[in-house]
Amino acid sequence: MSRTIWVGAVAYDPKVVGIWEGMRRYFHEEAHLPVEVVMFQSYEAQVAALLAESGDTLPRIDIGWNTNLAYLQADTWSGKRCRPIAMRDTDVGWMTKVIAVTGGPVANLADLKGRTLALGSRDSGHAAILPVHFLRRAGLAEAKDYQTLRFNTDLGKHGDTGTSESDVIRAVLDGRADAGAIGSPFWSTVRSQRLVPEGALTEIWTSPPFNHCMFTARSDLDPALEQQFAKALFGMNFDNPIHRPVLEAEGLRQWIAPRLDAYAELREASAQQGFLTRPSI
């Protein structure tokens, strides 16, 4: 039997525990792979554990289930030695949406000049880092051409909780902000679950697509173990009634091989905004 593979995940919501109990059960009972899960309270702590060297006082993990920002941090700080393993089909093609009150004064990006844009937690790629980046590319600089109202309500979770995006929506509806930036999955939820009065909000701009989460292996993980882990992931089948509840809870239909091109914009934005500068320990 292979040695234990230690996998890190961030407990951004109580449901995460149940998801990983299901994943662990699959690895042990069906894939016959000894996987144990370590829960972290922040992606900063998880990335530190992924990069920890033998003999460090930090905990060490073999694989991290990372956000796009955490993946880029691990990639950058390891000198590109950490390896991407797999992602969800639903991690492909995320977009940032800028939304505003329907029929209000903001109907396009140019209308934001001199106005206030609500943003999610500063470490959220989709609700803060990329919106600022794309607006600058469109000729609008934060604090110069528009003001921001930032909701740093789930720092360390990289926007996974959706809490700060809810705050953005409320700020736009009650007039504290003229527009707000949120991720396309949250915008879909707002509309499908009718979280705001129908027709109250309109998307005025959509970003180019980018990708989200990534399983990331530590640089010195035995490639054979990495391959066993990936093979087990790819063996999960949405049509299997045992696998489906776990896959649905994690928000995917199938695990896919890494698609790396669509991380370029976030890499550039994160570097410009200081998120790829490694903190001193």
Residue 2 has pLDDT above 60, yes or no: yes
Residue 143 has pLDDT above 90, yes or no: yes
Residue 83 has pLDDT above 80, yes or no: yes
Strand runs (DSSP E) across 74-170, as ranges?
83-88, 96-101, 116-119, 147-150
Residue 280 has pLDDT above 80, yes or no: no
φ and ψ of 10, to 5 deg = -100, 130
Buried-state track 11-46, b at ≥16 Cβ within 10 A, e below 16: ebeeebeebbebbbebbeeebebebebbebebbbbb
Residue 1 has pLDDT above 60, yes or no: no
pTM of the model: 0.96
Rounded to 10 degrees, the C-alpha dihedral 130/160/189/209 comes to: 30
Residue of 190, 148, 98 lying closest to 106 (CA atoms): 98
Residue 263 has pLDDT above 60, yes or no: yes
Point out which residues pair with 202 in neighbouring strands. Answer: 100
Q: Read off the DSSP letter of residue 167.
A: H
Sign for the pseudo-dihedral over CA of 162, 165, 171, 176: positive
Average pLDDT of the residues of the chain: 96
Domains of the chain: 5-91+211-272 (3.40.190.10), 96-206 (3.40.190.10)
Residue 190 has pLDDT above 70, yes or no: yes
The reported pLDDT for the residue numbered 94 is 98
